[in-house]
């Protein structure tokens, strides 16, 4: 303990040349793309601060990349690069493996082997953690190793640590958030600048926000994986990806965004995890958020996670959800946490093992307000037929507006419901499909606030 405190204050032993005798902690990096580059920049740029916090220099010893010949935006010692991740995993001097290369099955093999060898893991990989987190964390516990994954959800926001530590005393009832930077960037630009979907997606890719395959961003899968992680931590039960209902933003049109604004809402891809009486429900879907809700003003690549606890009430966490340096701060903070645990000899003791039996809400219990845009025959009695169907399934309406359509001979009916069960809404929409006066169900969105 004495040595630890001495080195913590930067007073470690020195050799006769004044060089520190404190053994550096060696880190192996898998990946040197957007996030990996940020990790190198922060470890090198903040070395003095970092080493004084952990009591040892932090050295990036070896880096696995796909192509060692590729030009890099930072100067790296070429001798450290390898195209063989096993060389990093099996390196005898490396204590901490930082996985920022992505991938699922092969990457899981690397991580499990690294744990088998007693190495600690820091990863930004939500795909891996959402699908195989429980197996990886069980292995880590068996081997008394740390697996930290703060960067995997909401890039630079320390939300995982907050759920594990900050809310350990409370019972969380709701986690609601914008947890994908790419889609928030796209929706913001479509809403504020009238930009086209394709051009903004290309910009998000160029800025390093999007996944290698951006389908997982725009189809909502990336957000769903993050919500599975947050739900598991928040509700202390094993939320799996298949428990999350997912709809992405590919069908959101500029027209939908315009309607949302006109009614006082912003369109956001929202992840919502709710718990009532120990039954949970989790979804990711484009949602019209009332403009006076703080989440409505979260724009661009920013993310925000709103957490409601029984005791604490409402809280909200905001910051960059993707991008090189914001994401890398979370990765490097995890490295610091691993090394602090190393010094204290407590690695592997902080893993959160979900202990509650999972109970999912039935469609009768999943409640939301809804926006529905219908194109209908422009003739007498149509509105009455439609409102009659809502009444039949006991869905109460907050507002109904009928107006001529600017672009075709149909009329438009815009409906906002009060809270209604998913079961009732599904019945209403099914009934609409068979109603001759309804030309098309143009859009249906969840409404918040």
Ligand X SMILES: N[C@@H](CC=O)C(=O)O
Interface positions with ligand NDP (CB under 6 A): 31-36, 64-67, 70, 85, 100-102, 124-125, 151, 155, 208-209, 211-212, 322-323, 327
Mode of pairing for the β-strands spanning 172-178 and 265-276: antiparallel
Question: Please, which residue, 31 or 348, has the CB nearer to ligand NDP?
Answer: 31
Report the SS3 class of residue 274.
strand
Among the listed residues 139, 80, 86, the one whose alpha carbon sits nearest the alpha carbon of residue 115: 139
Rounded Cα distance, 258 and 273, in Å: 27
For ligand X, give the closer residue by CB, 130 or 366: 130
The two tokens of residue 341 are: 């645990």
286 binds, among Na ion, ligand NDP, ligand X, none (CB under 5 to 8 A by kind): none
Pair type for strands 120-123 and 96-99: parallel
Residues 226, 247, 268, 442: which is the catalytic one? 226
156 is an interface residue for ligand X by CB under 6 A: no
Of 411, 415, 417, give the one whose Cα is nearest residue 440. Answer: 411
Q: How far is CA 259 from CA 183, 190, 285, 291, in A?
A: 19, 13, 17, 13
Q: Which residue has the tokens 């920022």?
A: 100
Binding site partner of 180, from ligand X, Na ion, ligand NDP, none, Cβ cut-off 5-8 A by kind: ligand X
Confirm or reject binding of residue 159 to ligand X (CB under 6 A). Answer: no
Question: Taking the complex as a whole, how short is the minimal distance between the CB of residue 105 and ligand NDP, in angstroms?
Answer: 11
Q: Which is nearer to ligand NDP, 227 or 322 (CB)?
A: 322
Asked whether 282 and 239 are in contact (CB, 8 A), the reply is yes
Query: Which residues share a beta bridge with 374?
Result: 413, 441
DSSP run (H or E) holding 1:
none
Query: Which residues touch 163 (CB under 8 Å, ≥6 apart)?
Result: 172, 175, 230, 233, 234, 307
**Rounded to whole angstroms, how far apart are CA atoms 321 and 178?**
9
126 marked among binding-site residues: yes
The minimum distance between CB 14 and ligand NDP, in angstroms, equals 37
Work out whether 413 is an interface residue with Na ion (CB under 5 A). Answer: no
CA distances to 65, 115, 117 from 89, in Å: 13, 9, 8
346 is in an annotated binding site: no
Least distance (Å) from ligand X to the CB of residue 217? 5
| Residue closer to ligand NDP, measured from CB, 327 or 417 | 327
DSSP structure class, residue 278: T
Catalytic site residue 261?
no
Binding mask 383-422 toward ligand X (x if CB under 6 A, else -) reads: ----------------------------------------
321 is in an annotated binding site: no
Q: Structure tokens of 427?
A: 């019945």
* Among the listed residues 180, 237, 347, 424, the single contact to ligand X using CB under 6 A: 180
Of 151 and 416, CB closest to ligand NDP: 151
Q: Judged by CB under 6 A, does residue 322 bind ligand X?
A: yes
- Provide the token pair at 215: 């389908």
Q: What is the largest CA-CA distance in the chain?
A: 96
- The answer on whether 301 is annotated among ligand-binding residues is no
Q: How far is the CB of 46 from ligand X (least distance, A)?
A: 22
For residue 200, give both structure tokens: 């903004």
Task: Quote the CA–CA distance of 270 and 178 in Å, as a whole number.
Answer: 5
Q: Is 445 helix (H, G, I), strand (E, B) or coil?
A: strand
151 vs 239, which CB is nearer to ligand NDP? 151
From Na ion, ligand NDP, ligand X, none, interface partner of 31 (C-beta below 5 to 8 A by class): ligand NDP
User: CB under 5 to 8 A by kind: which of Na ion, ligand NDP, ligand X, none does 182 bind?
Assistant: ligand X
Would you count residue 37 as binding ligand X (CB under 6 A)? no
Q: Which of 95, 150, 211, 222 binds Na ion (CB under 5 A)?
A: 150
Does 68 appear as a known binding residue? no
Which residues make up the interface to ligand X (CB under 6 A)?
155, 180-182, 209-211, 217, 222, 321-322
What amino acid positions are annotated as catalytic residues? 226
Which residues make up the interface to Na ion (CB under 5 A)?
150, 154, 157, 159, 330
């Amino acid at each position: 303990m004495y040595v630890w405190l001495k080195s913590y204050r930067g007073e470690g032993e020195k050799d006769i040349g004044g060089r520190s005798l404190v053994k550096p902690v060696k880190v192996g990096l898998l990946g040197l793309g957007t996030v990996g580059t940020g990790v190198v920049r922060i470890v090198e740029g903040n070395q003095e601060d970092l080493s004084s916090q952990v009591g040892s220099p932090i050295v990036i010893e070896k880096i696995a990349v796909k192509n060692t010949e590729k030009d890099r935006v930072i100067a790296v010692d070429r001798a450290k690069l390898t195209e063989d991740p096993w060389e990093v995993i099996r390196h005898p001097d490396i204590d901490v493996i930082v996985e920022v290369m992505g991938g699922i099955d092969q990457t899981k093999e690397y991580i499990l082997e690294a744990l088998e060898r007693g190495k600690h893991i820091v990863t930004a990989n939500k795909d891996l953690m959402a699908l195989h987190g429980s197996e990886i964390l069980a292995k880590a516990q068996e081997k008394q190793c740390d697996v930290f994954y703060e960067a995997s959800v909401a890039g630079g926001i320390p939300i995982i640590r907050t759920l594990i530590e900050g809310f350990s005393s409370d019972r969380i009832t709701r986690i609601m958030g914008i947890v994908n930077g790419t889609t928030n960037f796209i929706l913001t630009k479509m809403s504020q600048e009238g930009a086209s979907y394709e051009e903004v997606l290309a910009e998000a890719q160029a800025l390093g926000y999007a996944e290698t395959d951006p389908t997982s961003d725009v189809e909502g899968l990336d957000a769903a994986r993050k919500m599975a992680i947050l739900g598991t931590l928040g509700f202390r039960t094993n939320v799996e990806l298949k428990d999350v209902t997912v709809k992405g933003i590919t069908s959101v049109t500029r027209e939908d965004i315009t309607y949302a604004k006109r009614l006082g809402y912003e369109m956001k891809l929202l992840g919502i995890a709710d718990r009532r009486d120990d039954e949970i429900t989790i979804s990711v879907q484009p949602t019209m958020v009332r403009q006076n809700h703080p989440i409505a003003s979260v724009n661009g690549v920013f993310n925000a996670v709103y957490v409601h606890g029984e005791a604490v009430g409402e809280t909200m966490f905001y910051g960059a959800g993707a991008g090189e340096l914001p994401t890398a701060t979370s990765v490097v903070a995890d490295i610091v946490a691993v090394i602090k645990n190393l010094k204290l000899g407590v690695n592997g003791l902080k893993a959160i093992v979900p202990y509650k039996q999972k109970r999912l809400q039935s469609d009768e219990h999943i409640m939301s307000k809804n926006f529905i845009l219908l194109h209908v025959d422009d003739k007498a009695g149509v509105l009455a037929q439609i409102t009659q169907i809502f009444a039949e399934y006991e869905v109460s309406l907050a507002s109904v507006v009928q107006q001529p359509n600017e672009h075709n001979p149909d009329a438009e009916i815009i409906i906002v419901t009060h809270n209604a069960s998913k079961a009732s809404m599904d019945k209403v929409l099914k009934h609409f499909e068979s109603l001759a006066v309804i030309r098309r169900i143009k859009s249906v969105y969840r409404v918040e606030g």
